[in-house]
């Protein structure tokens, strides 16, 4: 897994690429924790356009981030969701937990 963090004004972007699985826990938490405690950051975008694998542990990590963000009064958006990952998110009903922005022209079963 590769993580890049960028902060600009009131938003931050975490870009995750390659594989996102249980081995990513420490790196992922170290990447997002400073964003949660940063009072200026109000929105955290998770760009997963370069992700080619996501497992249930990664879903759990995203849910943990989402809860931490809510507790801190911040919003989370998943952006650039690739097809294979979108299918996993659809099966997990992730639209109930996250705002999901799909690449232009892409539609999921939950988006009619």
Per-residue pLDDT of the chain (112 residues; tens, 9 = 90+): 889 999 999 999 999 999 999 999 999 999 999 999 999 999 999 999 999 888 889 999 999 999 999 999 999 999 988 877 888 888 888 878 878 887 655 555 544 4
Can you read off the two tokens belonging to residue 6? Answer: 């960028």
* Residue-range definition of the domain harbouring residue 90: 2-101
Is residue 42, in this structure, part of any structural domain at all? Answer: yes
Is residue 6, in this structure, part of any structural domain at all? Answer: yes
C-beta of residue 25 within 8 angstroms of C-beta of residue 55: no
Give the integer Cα–Cα distance in Å for 93 and 7: 29
Q: How many CB atoms lie within 10 A of CB 35?
A: 22
pLDDT at 100: 83
Is residue 108, in this structure, part of any structural domain at all? Answer: no
Is residue 107, in this structure, part of any structural domain at all? Answer: no
Number of domains the chain contains: 1
The predicted model scores a pTM of 0.85
**CA neighbours closer than 13 Å in the CB half-sphere of residue 103:** 11
Is residue 110, in this structure, part of any structural domain at all? Answer: no
CATH label of the domain that carries residue 6: 3.30.750.24
């Amino acid at each position: 897994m590769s993580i890049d963090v960028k902060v600009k004004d009131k938003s931050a972007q975490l870009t995750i690429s390659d594989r996102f699985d249980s081995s990513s826990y420490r790196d992922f938490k170290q990447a997002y924790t400073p964003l949660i405690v940063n009072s200026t950051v109000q929105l955290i975008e998770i760009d997963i356009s370069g992700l080619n694998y996501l497992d249930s542990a990664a879903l759990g990590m995203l849910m943990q981030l989402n809860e931490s963000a809510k507790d801190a009064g911040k919003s989370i958006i998943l952006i650039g969701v690739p097809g294979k990952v979108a299918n996993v998110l659809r099966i997990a009903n992730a639209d109930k937990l996250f705002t999901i922005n799909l690449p232009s022209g892409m539609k999921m079963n939950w988006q009619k």
